[in-house]
A and B are shown apart, each in its own frame.
Chain A
Amino acid sequence: MYELHDVMKNYPKGRGTVTALQGVSLVIPDGEWLAIQGPTGHGKSTLLHIIGGLDRPTSGTVKLGGQDLARLPESKVTGVRARTIGFVFQTFNLIPTLTAAENVQTALVPLGAGAAGRRARAEQALASVGLGDRLNHLPSELSGGQQQRVAIARALVKAPRVLLADEPTGNLDETTRDEITGLLGKLWREHELTMVCVTHDSAVAARAQRIVTLRDGLLATTGRGPSPAGALSIRSQRKGLLA
C-alpha cells in the first residue's frame, strides 16, 4: 500500500521556485488501479516520479509497504525500483541498439540474474504481451504499439508489485490505445498489480478503479472508474480466476 502524506515538491527556477505539488495526500491500496488526470504542467508526472522513487519530495512522506521512499538512501531506493516497481513511459524509452529480448533483459540486470535465466524470462514476458515472434527485432523494426508492448514486458518481467505508467497510450492511435489499455488491464488482473496510470485520455482513465485529478499541484477531485465496490469485485474475480 502506498501512503502519501502532505507531499510538496518545489523546483528552483531562475531566482525563484516553482511549486509542482502543494501538499498531496493519497492512499493507494494494494491491487488498486488508479488513474491520475489533470492539465499539462499541473504535477501529474512529478507525482508519478515521486511515487516511483525517481524523485524526492521537498517535504512530506511517501510510504510504500511502510518504507518511506523520501527518506531512504539512494541505493535503497534504487533497489526498490529494481525489485518492486515497473515503469512504462509514453515514448517507450527502449534502448535503440538492443533487440526486444535484450531490452526486456535490461530490467533483470540489476537483480543479478544469469544470462540464460534472463533470456528465458524475457522470452516468456514477450510471449505474454504477444511478441513471442519479435524477440530479435530492434525497436526501429517494431510499430509503436509493439514497442509499447516491449516496454510493458520489460516493466513486468521482474514481477513487480507496482506498475507506474506515464501516458502509456499518448503516442498511439486509438486502435492501438485500446489494445494496450486492454493488455494493461489484463496484466493488472493477472499479476495483482498496484497500477498508477497518468493519462490525459479519459477512455484510458475510465478503465481505472479510481481517478484523481491534479490541478495546480493539488489533488482537486477524486472520481471513479468502476466504483470501489466494483474494484473489490474485480479483485475478487481476479483472485477467483487465479485460484
Chain B
Amino acid sequence: MFFIYLRRELRRRMRQAVFIALGLALGIGLVITVSAASDGVKNSQATVLHSLYGVGTDITVTQPPAQGSNPATSFGFRQEIHSVRSGQIAAGTSIDINHLANSAYGTLGAGSVARVARQHEVTGASGGLTLTDVTVTGTVPSLSAGRGSISSSFTTNSFTVDGVDLADTALGPLSAAKLTSGANLTAADATSGDAVVDSGYAAQNNLKVNSAVNVGGTRFKVIGIVSVPQGGNPPDIYIPLAKAQSIGQTGTAGLTREVNTIYVSAASAADIPALQRQLATVLPHATVTDQSDLASQVTGSLSSASSLASNLGTWLSAAVLIAAFGLAVVLTMAAVARRVREFGTLKALGWRSRRIIGQVMGESIVTGLIGGALGVGLGYAGVTLIDRLAPPLSATVGSPGSGATPGTLSPGAGSALRALTSTSHTVSVSLSAPVTLGVILLAVLLAIGGGLVAGSFGGWRAARLRPAAALARVE
C-alpha cells in the first residue's frame, strides 16, 4: 500500500514533484560541477606545485641568505669585478669565469637533514642543493681611474642545477620528472659525473643522451632527458648531490657536506602544521614552507579559477541548494495543507501519525532522489562543458619582480619560493574537472537530505493535525 499510494500521489502531483526535483537537481548539479571544478583546479595547482616541489614533498626547509650578501647580482664574482675596476687585470685581458653558485640561499649543514628526519611526524627527509651555474665571458675594457661601465663588455650565461640526493629520489624536484629518454640517476651514480637534463633545456641547447655538459667547470655526461608535467619550472640540469657539493660555492666558500634545501614528507596532511612548528624549533633560523604557502604564490588564471571555485562557486552552490531545499519545504507543506482532509480521513481510519509522516517523507525522499539523479546528470553536463569549453589556465609562479605577490607570504617563504623559481615562469594548465565517487555520494546524500528536510516539515505538519479539525476543513 505504501508504494502504491506513494506512486499515485507523485503522479497526481507530477508538476509539483517535477518542480521540486528540478530545484534540487539544479542545486545538486551545481554542487557537483563546482566540486569537480574545484578538484580540477586543485589538481592543476598540485601539478604546478609538484613540478616545483616534487611529488610527495609536503614541506621544504631552506635558509635565508646571509645578511649583506647580494647573491642575485654578484654570483660570487665580486673579487673579479674588484680586480677589473682596480686595474689588477689589464684592459684587453680575456675573461672566462665559470661558477656553480649557491646564489639565493643560506646553507644548512648535513646534520640538519638528520635532525629533520628524526622528527616524529617525518616519514622522509632529503637534502638538495639548488644552484645556478653562471659563466661570464668577455674582454676587460679600458677604464679610466677605475670608473666606467664594465658590464657591457661581458656576456653572462646561466642555467639552474639541482644537486640531488640519490639515496632518496622519492622526494625533491627529480621525483616529479618523467624520463623521456636514456636513464635516470640512481644511487649507484652518487659520485659519478653523470647528469640528467630537463627536456626543455636539452632542446634549447641541442643536448642528447651521451652529450657532455659543463657544470661549474666540471664535465658531466648526459645519461637521460626528463620532463616535468605541465611544464613547471624545473632545474635545467640534475647532478648527484655529492658532485654539486664538491664543485658548488657560496661566494668563495665551498659547499662540502652542505645542502640548501631539505625536502620533507609528513606522515599525514593533518600533521603538517604541527610539523612546521616543530621544524621551526629544531632549525630556528630556517624557513619552513609548505605547499599551501607556495600555492598562495601561484598567480594567473589558475589562481583566479581557484578563487572562483572556492569562493563564488561554493557560495553559489550553497545559495541554490538552500533555495532548493526551501522551495521543497514550502511546496511539500503546501501539498500537505491541500491534503488535510485526506490525512484526517486516514487518521479516522486508525492510521497512526508515524505512518502518515512516513508516507509524506517517503514521497519527499523519492522526489529528492529523482532530483538527485537529475542533478547528477546536470552535474555531468556541467563538468563536460567545463572540460570542453574551459580555456587553458595559466599559472604564473613568480620570482622577484615578477607577477608573484610576495606581500601575501612570509618573507622567508617568499625567499624559498624565489629560490625554487629562479625566474618568473608562466605555464599553461588544462583544466579537467573530475567527478569522483565521493562527489556522487555527496549528491545522493544531498538529495536524501533535501527529501528528509522537506518531508520532515511536511510530516510534522501532518502529524500535528487533529483528526476532527482536519475533517472539518473545507476544501
Contacts and interface: CB of A to CB of B under 8 A. Distances in A.
Contacts of A118: 1
Interface stretch (A62-70, A89-97, A125-133, A179-187): A89-97
B342 interface: yes
B14 to A, nearest CB: 11
Contacts of B466: 54-55
A26 to B, nearest CB: 18
Interface in B434-475: 466-468, 471-472
A102 B348 contact: no
B256 to A, nearest CB: 87
Nearest to A52: B348
B5 to A, nearest CB: 7
Nearest to A92: B345
B360 to A, nearest CB: 14
B271 interface: no
A75 interface: yes
A49 B347 CA distance: 12
A154 B5 contact: no
A98 B351 contact: no
Contacts of B11: 97
Contacts of B472: 45
Contact of B468 (A49, A79, A97): A49
A97 B348 CA distance: 18
B148 to A, nearest CB: 99
A50 B4 CA distance: 32
B316 interface: no
B341 interface: yes
A16 B11 CA distance: 44
A98 B345 CA distance: 14
A135 interface: no
Contacts of B9: 97
Nearest to B10: A97
Contacts of B355: 109-110
A78 B351 CA distance: 7
A54 B350 CA distance: 10
A98 B350 contact: no
Contacts of A111: 350
Given A49-B468, A49-B471, A89-B345, A102 B4 contact: yes
B427 interface: no
Interface in A101-134: 102, 105-107, 109-111, 115, 118
B400 to A, nearest CB: 73
A106 B346 contact: yes
Nearest to A50: B468
A82 interface: yes
Given A45-B472, A102-B1, A79 B350 contact: yes
Contacts of B341: 91, 93
A154 B351 CA distance: 13
A82 B5 contact: no
A163 B350 CA distance: 14
B352 interface: yes
A79 B353 CA distance: 12
A111 B341 CA distance: 21
Interface of A, secondary structure class, is helix
A97 B12 contact: yes
B54 to A, nearest CB: 64
Interface in A29-55: 45-46, 49, 52, 54-55
A238 interface: no
A106 B1 contact: yes
B8 interface: yes
A105 B1 contact: yes
Contacts of A154: 349
Contacts of B348: 52, 54, 81, 87
A54 B471 contact: yes
A83 interface: yes
Contacts of A105: 1
B345 A97 contact: no
A97 B471 contact: no
A171 to B, nearest CB: 13
Contacts of A109: 1, 349, 351, 355
Contacts of A78: 347, 350-352
Contact of A98 (B4, B344, B468, B471): B4
Nearest to A91: B341
Nearest to A97: B8
Contact of A95 (B342, B347, B471): B342
B351 A55 contact: no
B349 A110 contact: yes
Nearest to B13: A97
Interface in B325-367: 341-342, 344-352, 355
Contact of B5 (A54, A79, A87, A97): A97
Given A98-B4, A106-B1, A93 B471 contact: yes
B64 to A, nearest CB: 76
Contacts of B471: 49, 54, 89, 93
Given A54-B468, A55-B466, A98 B349 contact: no
Contacts of A45: 472
Interface of B: 1, 4-5, 8-9, 11-12, 341-342, 344-352, 355, 466-468, 471-472
Q: Return the 3 tightest CB-CB contacts between A and B, nearest first.
A: A82-B350, A97-B8, A55-B468
15 contacts: A46-B468, A49-B471, A52-B348, A55-B468, A78-B350, A79-B350, A82-B351, A87-B349, A93-B345, A97-B8, A97-B9, A106-B1, A106-B349, A110-B350, A154-B349
